[in-house]
Structure 1
Amino acid sequence: MKTIAIIQARQSSTRLPGKALMDLAGKPVIAHVVAAAQAIPGIDRAVVATTDQPADDALAAWCTAHGVPCHRGSEEDVLDRFLLAARAEQADIIIRLTGDCPLLDPWVAGSVVALRAARKLDYASNIAPATWPDGLDCEVFTRAALEAAAAEANRPMEREHVTPFLRDNRHRFRQECVIAPLPGLQAERWTLDEDKDFEFLSAVLARLPAKATPPSWMEVWAVLEANPDLRDINRKIVRNAGFAKTLRAEKAPAWRGAKVSGELLKRAEKVIPLGSQTFSKSHIQYPAGAPMFLTHGQGGRVWDVDGNCYVDLVSGLLPVVLGYQDPDVDQAIRSQLNNGISLSLATELETELAERLVEIIPCAEAVRFGKNGTDATSAAIRLARAFTGRDRVIACGYHGWQDWYIGATVRNKGVPGAVRELTHMAPYGDLDALQALFKAHPGEIAALIMEPMNAVEPAPGYLQQVKDIVHAHGALLVFDEVITGFRYALGGAQALFGVTPDLASFGKAMGNGMPISAVVGRADILHEMENIFFSGTFGGETLSLAASIAVIDKMKSQPVIERLWQMGDLLATETEALAAKHGLSDVVSMVGKAPWKIFAFKPHPQARVEAMKTLFSYHVMQNGVLLLASHNLCFAHTEDDLGVVLRAYDTAFGRLAEELATGKLEERLPCKAVEPIFKVR
């Protein structure tokens, strides 16, 4: 197996022209990179791949003068340039390096080479996720993978940046990543793209000990730890700005279909009812042809098994509040993984997280943990019944799948009639209906459990009036904050609206995707946990606890909630402006609070709501956005992400207006209309 390091370099850099041959610490930048590449363990040869443009004649001449093979090709189609070099060198394994990384560590690159070989991968890197300093980037892949990418990649950014096709198609190309040993290294910038980078690198190299071999990342780190002010030189430069610029210019990539998703769905349905573990993630909630299987997420985007990329406005059904692969949460999980996942006794993490919840949630005096929202709501109801000695409950909103709640909905199959009769539904905002239920069952109602807000803004004083009514009848008030918690405010809707319930359930965003929930509330009520039975093997599972602690700490130190409000308001305003542009203001609007805006489709003389929503979702999905019925934003969503969303909405609203004008929208639908599982809000 012949392993070749191909160094991608050119002189016509937009941000720093001529950088490859700039004198850095006494020799050209490219010389630093070549020396590091040649020192990578397991390498057979290091070559340079530059362009065939006159601007790179000097770079080619340097290579010739120093005995470094140089292959020249297209300036724009860098993927083709790599393939040309790989074929010329008869390479079996390719190491992709870039000429703007003069501090490249041969040991780090060698670790990526070793990982690929040991695991027999198609692609290995230290950038997915990025945990190393910007400037130590290394990707290793097989010649077969490169050939496939060169033959099939058709997006401009895939041709310019060589490996996105491989990274995006994880169902097809087996891949893994070398993770940095220290947290926070990804924030370091050791690359060369701008003048400030050159100033930084010159200062670092001047402080490194003189030796014949390339410096290790640990030596560079030691210099920066001794001289932390050096980091300020180029701290403000954004990582991967060139890649982001290419994506921005691309607008909407062509959708590659969902062929593999369809095949996997057929396979899954043979062994899994609906082919999914969750109703809202199954094919019955998406238009036919939509992606049914994802491979990975990064920031505010996800990729499906067919290699399509989407801005994700589902966010795992709201748990992903910080973004996929959030570095702080992932680091907390990795650190805890070294200590164990589910231990035989409790860990201090349980107390640490409980203390944080008591600090930030107004009603929390004591805490118990579960794994999902239904655990927390059901525990709250059992506590209320035990504390009051009553059996009946009133529900207002959606509260999970357990018998006590779901038995009162149309999805009550399998729930005994005696159980169904104990739960009564109350409409949100209707105090008279609430009073009537209490009067119809005097002294029998243990609690009212309600979402303090979903689509409808509570009228002034409404939540306090609800609390007064509930307490006047000797019952408990339970807020279901599974959605509103860690989204409306760090302490939930109760903190936002200033009304404190007796008990509350939290979940979803609490762990940024890790399975964890909590029932919190008055200590005297939570004391009943010693008498009722609410106990599960995984209640103290440590990875989720560590993740939740990291979520809370990040939300306290960074403007997470503020950004959700800001982006949510901007996206909702622009969405309604686009609906107006296409004459659809009477059909589509946004309701709810900015951090969780919900689409409200209104009946139209020519089409059912379900048909309109299906058509809209169909075209949004094909234009690069994964959407259910709401804006489930996360902290990692960027302005560029919102741009993709709004362009998709513009297209989808246009198609919706066109089809409504025909008067035959439903019969012209490209797929069957998606019907709701059952109506909650």
Structure 2
Amino acid sequence: MPPPPGNPTFARSNTLQARLHELVPGGAHTYSRGSDQYPESMAPVLVRGRGCRVWDADDNEYVEFGMGLRSVTLGHGYLPVVDAVSKAIVDGVNFSRPTVLELQAAEDFLDLVPGADMVKFAKNGSDVTTAAIRLARAATGRVKIAVCDQPFFSVDDWFIGTTEMDNGIPTETAANTVRFRYNDLESLSAVLAAGDVACVILEAATATAEPAAGFLEGVRALCDHHGTLLVFDEMITGFRWSAHGAQAVYGVRPDLSCWGKAMGNGFPISALAGRRAYMELGGLRTGLARVFLLSTTHGPECGALAAFRAVVHAYATEEPIRRMERAGRRLAHAVTASAADAGVGDYLQVVGRPSCLVFVTRGPDGNPSQAYRTLFLQELLKRGVLGQSFVTSAAHADTDIEQTVAAVCEALPVYRRALENGSVAGLLDGRPVAPALRRLADPRRI
């Protein structure tokens, strides 16, 4: 029998997590999935999911938020996607020549993104952002990359070399990546002034930041003036802001755009799309030196392409963005009201686009606090809610939101007590979470 709500046990998960640390560096294959991102001894190891609910190795059931690092918008085990994949793979998965499915998927994608003329599929977001960088450098003959001050663009050296986890990356590589500030055209103008920047890469919007009036148009104009390519990272905004991407929402066309995450509802697929004049540099219809754009064994495998086509159909027929935004608005309103009623409205806040909500946890000094974030995560886990955010999916029904709000209401008195005490001591079991990208394993070394 599963443990009663409010008193979960994690014995099996903890055993499995310890074994994972013996076999997998960091104990997970994605840093943001690591056990250091959760309260100590409360990092569930999952075994299955359905809709917006997941079950762990101890048979604890949770309402999940974040949904596979924002990659699942239709729900876990969404049957039309599962059926499409099952039907496709029974006839084989990977071949020595292109398949009809590759053509059909490309047609579907370019119908969705009218600002793109050509597309190439891959598996990971980093595959396509790095391909965009390579293509921009070849097209312009320049080396430097202007990156917006946003959290993440790639696992490759050109970006990771600018983070705290730059060990093993030549300093000269990182020196070719320069930064500019979001919603600050002057900062971008300054980095482009030297005329040596191949491309500008940014997310058109994030969970917590919308473009100021004229900002994206100004970015486009600056890129045109300096002969610099504009690259939009649509990993999150694509299929969460719109099936047509943020470029359609805000009306600004990039030269290249990079897609992934929700386009396969969790299946591994990403895409580089862009203007024909640039994309053809990686093809056979150019007299110029060719670019090694993307060449992946598994990029066109049939399962993920079938998943993508089923996702496209769902977006055309089921309005998943409207549903996830409705769930997000209900959740944000209820949690905000509950926090205010509990007297902690200035310390626990829900912010962001309704389809991409995050929560902000502040300590007694009013500053964001990892310790208080961990306390909040701990209290939600005890009550059957799993999530580093409040990112919803189309599978989050009213009952799921109501259960989450009830869990938050029960967690708020503990949060308030910690604020009144001036510390989480005595209320938090173990050490606080730590930033996923940091120089040392401390403060969560094991």
- Shorter-normalised TM range: over 0.9
Q: Tell me the residue number matched to 2:18.
A: 266
> Contact between 2:31 and 2:437, CA under 8 Å: does it hold in 1?
no
Q: Tell me the residue number matched to 2:345.
A: 585
Partner Cα distance (1:154, 1:651) in 2 = 18
- The equivalent position to 1:301 in structure 2, one of 40, 53, 58, is 53
Which sections of structure 1, spanning at least 5 residues, go unmatched? 1-151, 156-252
Q: Tell me the residue number matched to 1:493.
A: 246
Q: Tell me the residue number matched to 1:365.
A: 117
User: For residues 106-155 of structure 1, what are the alpha-carbon distances to aligned partners after superposition, in whole Å with 9 as ceiling and x for unaligned?
Assistant: xxxxxxxxxxxxxxxxxxxxxxxxxxxxxxxxxxxxxxxxxxxxxx4676
Q: How many residues align?
A: 428
Give 3-state SS (helix, strand or coil) of 1:596's partner.
coil
Aligned-residue offset at 1:431: 1.2
Please state if 1:600 is matched with 2:360: yes
- The equivalent position to 1:468 in structure 2, one of 221, 224, 228, is 221
> Contact between 1:296 and 1:302, CA under 8 Å: does it hold in 2?
yes
Please state if 1:411 is matched with 2:165: yes
Aligned-residue offset at 1:358: 0.9
Question: What letter is aligned with 2:369?
Answer: V
Question: What letter is aligned with 1:468?
Answer: A
Give the alignment of 1:628-639 within 5 angstroms.
628=388, 630-639=389-398
> Contact between 2:129 and 2:233, CA under 8 Å: does it hold in 1?
yes
> Contact between 1:366 and 1:523, CA under 8 Å: does it hold in 2?
yes
Q: Tell me the residue number matched to 1:239.
A: none
Specify whether residues 328 and 423 from structure 1 end up closer, same or farther in structure 2 by C-alpha distance, changes over 3 A only: same
User: For residues 198-226 of structure 1, what are the alpha-carbon distances to aligned partners after superposition, in whole Å with 9 as ceiling and x for unaligned?
Assistant: xxxxxxxxxxxxxxxxxxxxxxxxxxxxx
> Contact between 2:258 and 2:273, CA under 8 Å: does it hold in 1?
yes
> Contact between 1:320 and 1:513, CA under 8 Å: does it hold in 2?
yes
Partner Cα distance (2:103, 2:75) in 1 = 26
- The equivalent position to 1:662 in structure 2, one of 392, 417, 421, is 421
Aligned-residue offset at 1:592: 2.0
> Contact between 2:324 and 2:395, CA under 8 Å: does it hold in 1?
no
User: For residues 568-626 of structure 1, what are the alpha-carbon distances to aligned partners after superposition, in whole Å with 9 as ceiling and x for unaligned?
Assistant: 12211212112111112211222221110122234532886111101001101111011
Partner Cα distance (1:529, 1:363) in 2 = 19
Give 3-state SS (helix, strand or coil) of 1:545's partner.
helix
Q: Tell me the residue number matched to 1:672.
A: 431
Specify whether residues 457 and 521 from structure 1 end up closer, same or farther in structure 2 by C-alpha distance, changes over 3 A only: same
> Contact between 2:145 and 2:178, CA under 8 Å: does it hold in 1?
yes
Question: What letter is aligned with 2:408?
Answer: Y
Q: Tell me the residue number matched to 2:205.
A: 453
User: For residues 232-263 of structure 1, what are the alpha-carbon distances to aligned partners after superposition, in whole Å with 9 as ceiling and x for unaligned?
Assistant: xxxxxxxxxxxxxxxxxxxxx24431100111
Partner Cα distance (1:456, 1:560) in 2 = 22
Kindly name which structure, 1 or 2, has the bigger radius of gyration based on alpha carbons.
Answer: 1
User: For residues 481-535 of structure 1, what are the alpha-carbon distances to aligned partners after superposition, in whole Å with 9 as ceiling and x for unaligned?
Assistant: 1011001111111111111111110000010010000011111111122222221
> Contact between 1:374 and 1:401, CA under 8 Å: does it hold in 2?
yes
- The equivalent position to 1:443 in structure 2, one of 195, 203, 220, is 195
Give 3-state SS (helix, strand or coil) of 2:69's partner.
coil
- The equivalent position to 1:626 in structure 2, one of 364, 379, 386, is 386
> Contact between 1:255 and 1:308, CA under 8 Å: does it hold in 2?
no
Question: What letter is aligned with 1:324?
Answer: H
Question: What letter is aligned with 2:234?
Answer: E
Specify whether residues 606 and 351 from structure 1 end up closer, same or farther in structure 2 by C-alpha distance, changes over 3 A only: closer
> Contact between 1:285 and 1:676, CA under 8 Å: does it hold in 2?
yes
Partner Cα distance (1:373, 1:595) in 2 = 20
Partner Cα distance (2:233, 2:417) in 1 = 41
Aligned-residue offset at 1:648: 1.2
User: For residues 416-443 of structure 1, what are the alpha-carbon distances to aligned partners after superposition, in whole Å with 9 as ceiling and x for unaligned?
Assistant: 111111101212111111111112xx22
Question: What letter is aligned with 1:623?
Answer: R
Which sections of structure 2, spanning at least 5 residues, go unmatched? 284-289, 439-446
> Contact between 1:392 and 1:446, CA under 8 Å: does it hold in 2?
yes
User: For residues 371-418 of structure 1, what are the alpha-carbon distances to aligned partners after superposition, in whole Å with 9 as ceiling and x for unaligned?
Assistant: 011111111111111111111001112202111111111221111111
Give the alignment of 1:243-392 within 5 angstroms.
253-392=5-144
Please state if 1:484 is matched with 2:237: yes
Give 3-state SS (helix, strand or coil) of 2:365's partner.
coil
- The equivalent position to 1:640 in structure 2, one of 392, 395, 399, is 399
> Contact between 2:122 and 2:271, CA under 8 Å: does it hold in 1?
yes
Q: Tell me the residue number matched to 1:22.
A: none
What TM-score does the superposition give when structure 2 sets the normalisation length?
0.93
- The equivalent position to 1:527 in structure 2, one of 280, 296, 319, is 280
> Contact between 2:74 and 2:395, CA under 8 Å: does it hold in 1?
yes
Give 3-state SS (helix, strand or coil) of 2:312's partner.
helix
> Contact between 2:378 and 2:428, CA under 8 Å: does it hold in 1?
no
User: For residues 456-484 of structure 1, what are the alpha-carbon distances to aligned partners after superposition, in whole Å with 9 as ceiling and x for unaligned?
Assistant: 12111111111111211110111001011
Give 3-state SS (helix, strand or coil) of 2:129's partner.
helix
Partner Cα distance (1:604, 1:502) in 2 = 46
> Contact between 1:479 and 1:503, CA under 8 Å: does it hold in 2?
yes
Question: What letter is aligned with 1:301?
Answer: R
Q: Tell me the residue number matched to 2:443.
A: none
> Contact between 2:347 and 2:366, CA under 8 Å: does it hold in 1?
no
What TM-score does the superposition give when structure 1 sets the normalisation length?
0.61
Question: What letter is aligned with 1:613?
Answer: R
User: For residues 302-349 of structure 1, what are the alpha-carbon distances to aligned partners after superposition, in whole Å with 9 as ceiling and x for unaligned?
Assistant: 000000000010211111110011010000011011111111211111
Give 3-state SS (helix, strand or coil) of 2:67's partner.
coil
Aligned-residue offset at 1:546: 0.3
Give the alignment of 1:118-267 within 5 angstroms.
152=1, 253-267=5-19
Partner Cα distance (1:427, 1:324) in 2 = 36
Specify whether residues 356 and 391 from structure 1 end up closer, same or farther in structure 2 by C-alpha distance, changes over 3 A only: same
> Contact between 2:3 and 2:60, CA under 8 Å: does it hold in 1?
no
Partner Cα distance (1:317, 1:449) in 2 = 21
Give 3-state SS (helix, strand or coil) of 1:631's partner.
coil
Return the structure number with greater relative CO, CA threshold 8 A, min gap 6. 2
Q: Tell me the residue number matched to 1:121.
A: none
Q: Tell me the residue number matched to 1:428.
A: 182
Specify whether residues 404 and 459 from structure 1 end up closer, same or farther in structure 2 by C-alpha distance, changes over 3 A only: same
Aligned-residue offset at 1:363: 2.1
Specify whether residues 667 and 445 from structure 1 end up closer, same or farther in structure 2 by C-alpha distance, changes over 3 A only: farther
Give 3-state SS (helix, strand or coil) of 1:505's partner.
strand
> Contact between 1:357 and 1:364, CA under 8 Å: does it hold in 2?
no
User: For residues 8-62 of structure 1, what are the alpha-carbon distances to aligned partners after superposition, in whole Å with 9 as ceiling and x for unaligned?
Assistant: xxxxxxxxxxxxxxxxxxxxxxxxxxxxxxxxxxxxxxxxxxxxxxxxxxxxxxx
> Contact between 2:375 and 2:427, CA under 8 Å: does it hold in 1?
no
Q: Tell me the residue number matched to 1:650.
A: 409
Task: Report the aligned-residue RMSD.
Answer: 1.6
Range that drifts further, 266-275 or 667-676: 667-676
Question: What letter is aligned with 1:590?
Answer: V
Question: What letter is aligned with 1:583?
Answer: G
Please state if 1:510 is matched with 2:270: no
Partner Cα distance (1:544, 1:290) in 2 = 32
> Contact between 1:607 and 1:660, CA under 8 Å: does it hold in 2?
no
> Contact between 1:319 and 1:510, CA under 8 Å: does it hold in 2?
yes
